[in-house]
Amino acid sequence: MSVDRVDEGRTDQGAEALAATAALRYYPVAPGVRLNVRSGPGTGYAVVRVLIEGAKVPIFCQTPGTTVTGPYGTSNIWDNIDSGEYVSDAYVKTGSDGYIASRCG
């Protein structure tokens, strides 16, 4: 009988990245809405781009910010959809009125 040697100091970053990508879920933006993407979690931050109607977004983390009223209620939760890019959770159909992702650090 043989025993395989396990190198505990080595990680397979490619497999980890693939698993993270596979687990990433996309959420739909409210129908008929062109949504402003801002540089921070609030309406006082600059618009960096606009999402087209029918867009779906990943949510990497969430953070409190300006309270906004949208199609999915009133919320102060902002969704981080990319590095330095935030949208109000009141415009994203997450299926929850609360946090569905970890808090941004």
**62-99 pLDDT, tens digit each:** 999 999 999 999 999 999 999 999 999 999 999 999 99
Q: How far is CA 69 from CA 10, 64, 66, 78, 88, in A?
A: 48, 14, 10, 12, 9
Evaluate if residue 12 carries a pLDDT over 80. no
Integer CA distances (angstroms), 90 to 1, 17, 31, 48, 70, in order:
60, 30, 12, 19, 5
Give the pLDDT confidence of 14-66 residue by residue, as tens digits: 555 555 555 789 999 999 999 999 999 999 999 999 999 999 999 999 999 99
CA distance 34 to 94: 17
